[in-house]
Amino acid sequence: MDIIEINKVLSNKTRVNILKWLKNPELNFPPHQDIDHFNDGVCVGYIQDKTGLSQSTISTYLNSMQNADLVIPTRHGKWTYYKRNEDVIKAYIEAIQNEL
């Protein structure tokens, strides 16, 4: 868990929003067609729609979030779903509390 790396990710409004939206997928995204749950998170397309940014930008963002271990990707067919990595997020919050 690299605090500096995580803070870099979290120094962009869109990336923070993505992380927040993923707390409540059913509130922030339409239901998926092929599956009826958000157990593995939300597909890239929905996240892109919500932000209004380009597909490649969102992919880059999600990749940076994944590198910082803030999200976990899961492939289902042609879709990639992203969900929060709650363990790392929890550890990050605790580190901020204790060290800052």
Partner DNA sequence: TTTACATATCTAAAAATATAGATATGTTAT
Partner DNA sequence: ATAACATATCTATATTTTTAGATATGTAAA
**Smallest distance from the beta carbon of 11 to a copy of itself, in angstroms?**
4
Segment interacting with DNA, rule: CB under 7 A, options 17-25, 53-61, 86-94: 53-61
Closest C-alpha to 10, from 2, 19, 1, 21: 19
Closest C-alpha to 83, from 69, 96, 97: 69
What string marks each residue from 71 to 100 as x (binds DNA by CB under 7 A) or -? --x-x-xxxxx-------------------
Sequence-separated (6 or more) residues with CB below 8 Å from residue 73: 62, 66, 80, 81, 82
Q: Residue 34 or 99: which CB sits closer to a copy of itself?
A: 99
**Smallest distance from the beta carbon of 24 to DNA, in angstroms?**
19
- Binding residue count for a copy of itself, defined by CB under 8 A: 18
Interface with DNA in residues 16-35 (CB under 7 A): none
Question: Bridge-partner residues for 72, per DSSP?
Answer: 83
Beta strands in the chain (DSSP E): 42-43, 71-76, 79-84
Q: What is the DSSP letter of 54?
A: -
Residue from 3, 17, 35, 45 that binds DNA (CB under 7 A)? 45
